Structure 1
Amino acid sequence: MLLRNCAFILFVILPFLVFAQQQPDVDFAFNIAEPEYEKGEGPVLCIDSAHNNFHTLDGGFAPFARVLQHDGYVVKDFNYPFTETDQLKTCNVFVIVNPLHESNIGNWVLPNPSAFSKEEILSLNQWVKEGGALFLIADHMPFAGAASELGLSFGFRFRNGFATLEKDQDQPDLFTLENGRLLKSPVSGNEITSVTTFTGSAFTYPEEAIPVLVFKKGDFSLEPERAWQFDESTKTVGLGNHTHGAIMEYGSGKLAVFGEAAMFTAQTIQTPQGEVFKIGLNNTQLAPQNLQFLLTLMHWLD
């Protein structure tokens, strides 16, 4: 009961801060000692903005794009339906972050329909199968719900809730080799021994996928009717058989599926008292290895 009450306090306070004064930290300092590609000569990375995405190239994922541009990637906005196959073929890596159905714009309450048409899902699925690389990120409710049908087409089943570790609830979620929540994989282990996340969703994965960030017994998902509103009757689901991130080869292509977005970008949150907190890649104290994890993951994808 105490753990749940702590989680309730965290989830009630955070949305006020996040939605009131959350900003991308486009000036955060980072260093890539040896870029993977010469400037502008790397793969073309497209970031979806056609599905009411909470994070886009010009918004919350601008710092993500800046990092990858420094690593040599060509990053561009993609504002087309996935059925525009000629446009899709111009992308080597396709990034989808927190899509949303139009009925949920400013209305984060159930139901949360798919952000994508069945035709778009079929088209994107075929693109990956023929050699494309998809990076799908679906955060907490309602974004996990909006991405559910797309994820399911590849065998990933999202829980449309707020996933958290069993821990002190005033801290971010820490996945490490030591605590068994970060598994050794083609994108983790050796140099990368920890990854930090900041409240997202959980999902199950197909047998052929490789789990990277995993939940353990005692971790849980809170699944309310309305985002960020919790009480003692809120549905709570244990996450012992779920993951927070996984990778998979699919036909001739590849997928990386993750349930949290802030870990891959850099943001600041200013409290009403004027305090500024760094969330994501820019917080080298809380997330010291997230930048290297992002680069390693992208290099595996491309």
Structure 2
Amino acid sequence: MKRLACLALLLSASLPCVAQQVADREFAPAVSPPAFVEGKGPVVCLDEAHYNFHTLDGRFHAFGALLRRDGYVVTPNRVAFDATSLSACAVLVIANAQPSDADWNDYPTPTPSAFAPTEVAAVRDWVQGGGRLLLIADHMPLAGAALALAAAFDVEFTDGFAFAGVDNEAKAKPTLFRLDDGTLSDHAILRGRNASEAISQLRSFTGQAFRAPGAQPLMVLPAGFVSLHPAKAWAFDDATPRVEVGGWLQGAVKDAGKGRAAFFGEAAMFTAQSAGAERRPMGMNAPGAEQNAQFVLNLLHWLAEPSLPATQ
């Protein structure tokens, strides 16, 4: 990711060449029935004001298109967060905000926050007053860039890489979350509005592990998972610090005052992309992720209840 050499390929030929991720603009799963009349649903603002790795015209194209087919109004937010800018949104989505447009290997350690303290306070107060937040922050350094904002909601992001193990085979193994093994937690989001929307499996693509005391878990990392914490992104060796994170989270939700917030430690699962010279599917279009698109819809249904203000 982000103008780095494809260090992932040095780890394993089966890991995606993240420097060549492009949106899969042909991925368009059906939405039936839409939750809202076309163009009349709640306003979903996708943050594009913080050097975001994901934008509506870029790698989050499929996310925006999916929500529009469900009736939402999806728009970019390109200004700093304050009471005025947030008032235009029913749901704020932040995906992989960054502190600058520098190469990741030029970032200092620890990773600086992508958000000014006044922005963190504005988002917290907005959610407490009834706003709805979806905060997505991937592996290092993206988790570090969102640490302060997550902490405002008592969520503990970790600026590392979550893998099934430390060898190359484990690093390349798909991360699957299943209802039948307890790595997916029972929740209204997983049940959907009816049986046809029920989720039994999700797939994520590396990401970080986090803890969220008091939140409702959705995606629980299996036993044996480790979080690797290199000095620079993707630069692993035998001395790289590691933490056992089996039982930690990659997805959780919580009520916050009058509002609601959702937190995820992996972003590709919300996208549909082609990766590397072989244009391998990564995201909602990938094998094992067949239910990811429905999960996105279910999650937004939970966040943006029909009682929220819609466009006129």
Change (3 A) 1:38 1:236: same
- Corresponding residue for 2:102? 105
Counterparts of residues 39-188 of structure 1 (less than 5 Å): 39-83=38-82, 85-102=83-100, 105-108=102-105, 109=107, 110-165=109-164, 168-188=170-190
Residue equivalent to 1:3: none
Match of 2:288 in 1: 286
**Is 2:198 the partner of 1:200?**
no
Cα distance, 1:13–1:51 mapped onto 2, change above 3 Å: farther
Aligned residue in 2 for 1:264: 270
C-alpha distance after superposition, 1:98-117 (max 9, x if no partner): 01112x62133423111111
Cα 1:71–1:11 shift into 2, 3 Å: farther
CA–CA separation in structure 1 for the residues paired with 2:225 and 2:130: 35
8 Å contact 1:222–1:236 — kept in the other structure? yes
TM-score, scaled to structure 2: 0.87
How far residue 14 of structure 1 moved from its aligned partner, in angstroms, is 7.1
Deviations 1:80-136 (A, max 9, x none): 1112x222101000000001112x621334231111111110011000000000000
- Show the counterpart of 1:225: 231
Higher alpha-carbon deviation: 182-191 or 68-77: 182-191
Q: Secondary structure at the match of 2:146?
A: helix
What residue ranges of structure 1 are gaps of 5+ in the alignment? 1-7
Deviations 1:131-168 (A, max 9, x none): 00000000000000000000001000111001123584
Instruction: Give runs of aligned pairs for residues 233-248 of structure 1, distance below 5 A.
Output: 233-248=239-254
Provide structure 2 residue ranges, at least 5 long, that are not aligned to the other structure.
1-7, 305-312
Q: Deviations 1:239-271 (Å, cap 9, x if unpaired)?
A: 034110000010000001000011011000132
Q: Counterpart in 1 of 2:5?
A: none
- Offset of 1:169 from its aligned partner? 3.9
Aligned residue identity for 1:204: R
What is the aligned-residue identity percentage?
42
SS in 1 for 2:17: helix
Paired positions, count: 288
* Structure-1-length-normalised TM-score: 0.90
- Between the aligned partners of 1:10 and 1:170, the Cα distance in structure 2 is 11
Distance 1:80 1:12, change over 3 A: farther
Q: Are 1:301 and 2:307 an aligned pair?
A: no
Q: CA RMSD in A?
A: 2.0
Alignment partners' CA distance in 1, 2:152 and 2:258: 16
Question: Residues 11 and 206 of structure 1: is their aligned pair in 2 closer, same or farther, counting only changes over 3 Å?
Answer: farther
